[in-house]
Amino acid sequence: MSSAKANPTYQIRPAYKQRVSVAAMKTIIDTVMKEELEGKTYAVDQAQVQTKHISDEIRNRLKALDLPRYKFMVQVVLGEMRLEGVRMGCRTFWDAETDAHATSNYMNDSLFCVATAYGVYLY
């Protein structure tokens, strides 16, 4: 019988280079919203399809960052510009060292869009 102990290999926290970058998340959100909404007008019958498509595209590009054990969630709000105000907020309970979120908005004469992506490290 060997008296040597096995070292644990389970990684509690991501390596520095494997942490989610807020800047990268924001760049992805900005790029997708510009690609999907530039030159478009608000159509109430298409809003549900557009928000799902935008959120899926953002999530897929975030997954392509290939960050092990990160889960990404995306929320997209799309509305018509009608000279009214909108307030949004969120509360989170997470590990500030490993988890992050990024929010961005897009506006034109017809519509506004706010997208928030959350990257959560799974322990």
All residues at 6 or more sequence positions from 62 whose CB lies less than 8 Å from its CB, including other chains: 25, 28, 72, 74, 117, 119
Please check whether residue 13 lies inside any domain of the structure: no
Spell out, as residue ranges, where the chain has pLDDT lower than 50: none
- pLDDT at position 22 is 96
Tell me the pLDDT tens digit for each residue of 59-91: 999 999 999 999 999 999 999 999 888 888 888
Please check whether residue 73 lies inside any domain of the structure: yes
pTM of the model: 0.88
- pLDDT at position 117 is 98
Could you tell me the CATH number of the domain that includes residue 53?
3.30.1140.40
Please check whether residue 86 lies inside any domain of the structure: yes
Domain hosting residue 88, numbered range: 20-121
Please check whether residue 10 lies inside any domain of the structure: no
Other beta carbons less than 10 A from residue 76's beta carbon: 23
Please check whether residue 14 lies inside any domain of the structure: no
